[in-house]
Amino acid sequence: MNTSPTSLAGRPADPVAAVTHADPYPFYAELRAGPPLAWNETLRLWVTSRAEVVESLLLAHGALRVRPAAEPVPRAIVGSAAGEVFGHLVRMNDGTAHQAHRPVLQRALAGLDLGAVRAAALRVAHGVPVQPLSDALFSMPVRAVAHLLGFGDEALPRVDRWMRDFVACLSPLSTAEQLQGASAAAGELMARFEALAAGAAPRDGTLLSAVLAEGEASAPLPRSLLANLVGLLSQTCDATAGLLGNSLIAVMREPSLPQAAQTQGGLQAIVEETARHDPSVHNTRRFVAETVTIADTPLAAGDTVLLVLAAANRDPALNPEPERFSLVRARRRMLGFGHGVHACPGQALACTLAAAGLEAVLHRRPDLAALRERGWHYRPSVAARIPVFH
């Protein structure tokens, strides 16, 4: 059964349900036409979808935080190995804990040679079983980043498995069993990273060698930094799987793309336009720590704001003809990788990995017409749009 036609799906119930809806974009356009910050009584949070307001909120990082003050680590994982990792992540901290490791990670990622990354990612992706395709979407980028961190080929499938288990703790939809698995996986990952960092000098060009070259170097790496190396894998996992999967859907939908996908430049452009047009991370949240007024709307301490990045990506204020999928945008602008102090430092890497993954998938000549006919749905999630092909 093809569940992809938008006409069968009805209107999303709210901006969180929109993430996994067949076509949330008309709904996002309605949100943008409404107030700059709209209170949603069902979700009990403010919702914002216009690019300008999203940017203002992401720049107000003193008053708005990435975690609620009363719950820096989700209650369900406090005291567990998963809780320890989560508590150290730069993504989940503001202030000192954010600044302690963000610059090191940013420099290590910025120093990657993307040509070499592409070659390595392609080699790793060719080694991933393509069936089930929906699993390959995760394994290709996660194994590539594990390789870039410094793991040997033999370790990649295990690291991949643990990472899939670990990211389960990042979703509020996880079951008790998944949370337990996430903690076991976090413990394993920390131990493997510790051993890797303490072992023989890592291969040149790896993220680990870049981090070790930073100074804290020779001594055993602090657990907070080890946790952030695990964090590079978890930040890759769902988001890049979604970008790869949504890029494949774009190739099925847009008649000119199979031809464009024949070249490296074409693959890269498909992925970058998908990251704008049908991104994998649809929203992020901010938690108001002190009273602040944004877009003439007073926000009170304790309030939550949902920033609909995928709606902002199609704001005409950001790009001309935003509904059109175009490989040749002169200056493509998007907010799907965030903005301001927490902006994603892995954007270029993510696009390179997704393009290599797409190349590896298409190299196996899947029957795209049949795949499209069978259809897909999206994994249950409150923020990430990741297809599951039928």
Residues near ligand HEM, by CB under 6 A: 66, 90-91, 98, 102, 105, 109, 145, 231-232, 235-236, 239-240, 243, 279-281, 284, 336-338, 342, 344-346, 349-350
Nearer to ligand HEM, 4 or 236 (CB): 236
Nearer to ligand HEM, 9 or 341 (CB): 341
Instruction: Give Cα separations from 190 to 37, 79, 99, 147, 374 (angstroms).
Output: 40, 15, 21, 16, 40
Shortest Cβ 11–ligand HEM spacing (Å): 25
Shortest Cβ 50–ligand HEM spacing (Å): 17
Shortest Cβ 3–ligand HEM spacing (Å): 24
Query: Which helix (H) or strand (E) is 387 found in, with range?
Result: strand 387-389
Shortest Cβ 309–ligand HEM spacing (Å): 6
Distance between CA atoms of residues 192 and 224, nearest Å = 15
Nearer to ligand HEM, 12 or 338 (CB): 338
Shortest Cβ 7–ligand HEM spacing (Å): 28
Structure token pair of residue 343: 């902006």
| Helix locations, the chain, DSSP H | 25-33, 51-59, 81-88, 96-110, 114-126, 133-149, 156-167, 176-198, 207-212, 223-253, 257-260, 264-277, 309-313, 347-363, 368-374
Shortest Cβ 152–ligand HEM spacing (Å): 19
Written as one letter, the residue type at 186 is A
Nearer to ligand HEM, 83 or 345 (CB): 345
Nearer to ligand HEM, 180 or 224 (CB): 224
Whether 260 and 270 have beta carbons less than 8 Å apart is answered as yes
Nearer to ligand HEM, 84 or 278 (CB): 278
Nearer to ligand HEM, 102 or 390 (CB): 102
Structure token pair of residue 263: 């070249």
Whether 364 and 130 have beta carbons less than 8 Å apart is answered as yes
Nearer to ligand HEM, 24 or 259 (CB): 24
Shortest Cβ 176–ligand HEM spacing (Å): 26
With b meaning 16 or more CB within 10 Å and e meaning fewer, what string describes 245-277?
Answer: bbbbbbbbebeebeebbeeeebbbbbbbbbbbb
In sequence order, what are the residues at sequence separation of 6 or more whose Cβ sits closer than 8 angstroms to the Cβ of residue 110? 345
Residue 63's Cα: distance from chain center in Å?
24
Q: For ligand HEM, which residue has the nearest CB?
A: 346
- In whole angstroms, how large is the CA radius of gyration of the chain? 20
Respond yes or no on whether the N-terminal peptide bond of residue 132 is cis (omega within 30° of 0): yes
N-term to C-term CA, the chain? 8
Nearer to ligand HEM, 181 or 245 (CB): 245
